[in-house]
Amino acid sequence: MKSHRLFPLLLFVFAVPCHGQVQARDRVSSLLQGVSDSLDHYQQLAPAINCEDATEKTLRDSCAIVLETLGRDAHDAKEKISHYRQLSTPRLIDLFDIYQVFHKIMEGVGNLGYAAELYGEHNRVLFAEAYNNFVKMDGWFGSEVRDAIQNAEKGSACRDSGQTR
């Protein structure tokens, strides 16, 4: 095949995956902005949570520990997001690391709400708001990570099949 006939085929082969990668990057960028917004919202809610309203000392102590841990995890997640955004070629593992810490935060907020009625009405409302804020993002994040893994596998299979020809 002459090179001038091969060029349009090569252009198609390389342009289509790049277009798909741009769309995936846009979705990930939107996702990370949403996650950042959720973390910011949680950090605004957290100071209003009053662990002293809990009905038992063990609950008050547990609440304080969970809030401290969530604060550190939220800070860690924000740093990981910032690092990811600075990478010229982010890897899937970098996105997965953000997902892991975000999911850990989600579980911590869920744990606070487990016996929310024992923390007082004021805290129960805040726990519910934080949980609802995170659960939406956690579901979206999980879906994007799954799609990114599937796309990476497809891209790998595509590259492998191209190399065997």
Tens digits of residue pLDDT in 46-102: 999 999 998 889 989 999 999 999 999 999 999 999 999 999 988 888 988 999 999
Q: How many degrees, rounded to 5, is the angle at CA 141 between CA 19 and CA 66?
A: 155
Q: pLDDT per residue over 139-149, tens digit each?
A: 888 888 888 88
Distance of CA 13 to the CA centre of its chain: 31
- What is the model's pTM? 0.74
Enter the DSSP assignment of 44.
H
State the pLDDT at residue 72.
95
Contact 126, 20 (CB under 8 A): no
Task: State how far the Cα of 116 lies from the Cα of 53, in Å rounded to an integer.
Answer: 11
Contact 31, 158 (CB under 8 A): no
Task: State how far the Cα of 163 lies from the Cα of 42, in Å rounded to an integer.
Answer: 48
Q: Measuring CA to CA, which residue among 134, 139, 117, 115 is closest to residue 46? A: 134
- Domains in the chain, CATH or no CATH each: 29-163 (1.20.1260)
Distance of CA 12 to the CA centre of its chain: 32
Question: Which residues, at least 6 apart from 38, have a Cβ–Cβ distance to it below 8 Å?
Answer: 133, 134, 136, 137
